[in-house]
Amino acid sequence: MNHQRVSSLLSSYVDGDLEAHQVVEVEAHLETCRECHDEVVGLRALAAAVAQLPRSIEPPTDLWPAIDSSLASPTVKLGLSDQTLRSLRFPLAAAALALIAVSSLVTALIVGPGEEPRTTSASPALATEGVSFIAQWRRSEDEYLRATLELVESLDASTRQLAPETVELIQQNLQIIDAAIQESRAALAVDPANRDLIQSLSSAYQKKLEVLQQVNGVLAQL
């Protein structure tokens, strides 16, 4: 093996990356070549110096405030962002029970007693015809509103523990849904048996329920 070839292998030799036969040839060359010998000594000295370099260097300034502010920019959408939901801290045991009751009611409204579940999108919230259906809907709606109110009150009670921007975001999202609910209720007041309007209102209720369920689900993991 000539000098140029050995010289190109010295880094790998120092790293222990050469095949056995290459090691033999390189070491034979090193015994006779001062330049390559010195290069190996230099490479080993460099490796030793590198080994002394600190693996950790503290940033000159605390970067956490800037990072923190980047993390605190939740996405505004109809439902609350996961990040916002995760930041919620409020006692929800009683509200969680109410939520289960509400979920059952809405499911009953959508599915109907004794029927196989139907997809919400494929059917009006309440497909049963007649006056009994309207009465059932209104009773269930009252219970739904009562239970939802408990959840919202729990949320209100917790606002002291939340960042102002988080509270604002929650309120914005709930206001969007409440506006849709009010619109549907106003239309239903004029046309109380309109199945499309009932479906629209049920859908808005369901969205609000989903937001609150999302909160409940995240809190259950804390």
Partner 1 sequence: MGDLVSRARRGDKAAFEQLYRDNAGRIYAVCLRLSADAGHAEELTQDVFVRAWQKLETFRGDSAFSTWLHRIAVNTVFQWQRSENRRSARLAKAGSLAATPTSAARPALQLDLERAIARLPAGARSVFVMHDIEGYKHAEIAAITGLAVGTLKAQLHRARKLLREALER
Q: How far is the CB of 50 from partner 1 (least distance, A)?
A: 5
In angstroms, rounded to a whole number, what is the distance separating the alpha carbons of residues 188 and 39? 89
Task: Report the C-alpha gap between 2 and 65 in whole angstroms.
Answer: 59
* Contact status: 42 vs partner 1 (CB under 8 A): yes
With the CA atoms of 211, 214, 218 and 220 taken in that order, what torsion angle do they form, in degrees rounded to the nearest 10?
110
Of the residues 23, 33, 40, 43, which one makes contact with partner 1 according to CB under 8 A? 43
Q: Vertex 139, ends 121 and 216: CA angle to 5°? A: 60
* Binds partner 1 (CB under 8 A): choice among 2, 32, 70, 121: 70
Q: Which stretch binds partner 1 (CB under 8 A): 45-53, 126-134, 138-146, 207-215?
A: 45-53
Query: How many CB atoms neighbour CB 167 within 10 A?
Result: 18
Q: Residues 6, 18, 36, 85: which binds partner 1 (CB under 8 A)?
A: 85
| Cβ at position 153, least distance to partner 1 in Å | 24
Binding to partner 1 in span 180-199, by CB under 8 A: none
Quick one: which of 11, 104, 161, 172 contacts partner 1 (CB under 8 A)?
Answer: 11
Q: Kindly state the smallest distance separating residue 29's Cβ from partner 1, in Å.
A: 16
Given the complex with partner 1, which of 13 and 137 has the nearer CB atom? 13
3-state SS of 58-127? CCCCCCHHHHHHHHCCCCCCCCCCHHHHHCCCCCCHHHHHHHHHHHHHHHHHHHCCCCCCCCCCCCCCCC
Establish if 113 lies at the interface with partner 1 (CB under 8 A).
no
Q: Does 157 bind partner 1 (CB under 8 A)?
A: no
Decide: is 159 part of the binding site for partner 1 (CB under 8 A). Answer: no
For partner 1, which is the closer residue by CB, 30 or 110?
30
Please give the radius of gyration of the chain, using alpha carbons only, rounded to the nearest integer.
35
- How many Cβ atoms are within 10 Å of 136's Cβ, its own excluded? 17
Q: Does the footprint of partner 1 cover residue 220 (CB under 8 A)? A: no
Taking a C-beta distance cutoff of 8 angstroms, is the pair 163, 83 a contact? no
Report residue 129: phi and psi, to 5°: -90, 155
Q: List residues near partner 1 by CB under 8 A.
A: 8, 10-12, 39, 42-43, 46-47, 49-50, 52-61, 63-64, 66-68, 70-72, 82-83, 85-87, 218, 221-222
